[in-house]
Amino acid sequence: MKYKPLTATVDAYQLTKDYATDSPKWVRDRIGTRLFENTTIRDGAVRFDGLTSIIQNRKLRERMTARPGDYLVRMQDGNVAVYTKRNFEALYAPAEGQQA
């Protein structure tokens, strides 16, 4: 789904525990290179805790963790930023012709 801030339109995906099957291609393509799965094992059960996004450019290298319900936003430079649902909804609205 496409969303637009005040300045530009971006691609965004709200993270779910089923991200491996319901996420867009741009998210799946970054798994293992710029997005890394966070899991814990407790009493023999594997629990999905979220994804860590690595943002890197000439000036910055930053890690951001997305938990289920947070939004992954593909920025115009190709990096993926993480926003909580509350912050995302305060900054972005569905692009014309799109519904949330």
Q: What are the tens digits of pLDDT across the range 11-40? A: 899 998 888 888 898 888 888 788 888 889
H-type helices in 1-100, by residue range?
Answer: 19-22, 25-28, 85-91
Describe the chain by its helix, strand, coil percentages, rounded to 5. Answer: 15, 45, 40
Q: What is the pLDDT of residues 68-84, one digit of tens each?
A: 999 999 888 788 888 99
Kindly report the pTM of this predicted structure.
0.74
The backbone torsions φ and ψ at residue 4, rounded to the nearest 5 degrees and listed phi first, read -130, 135
Ranges assigned E (strand) in 15-88:
35-42, 45-56, 61-66, 71-74, 80-83
Q: Tell me which residue has tokens 């115009």.
A: 76
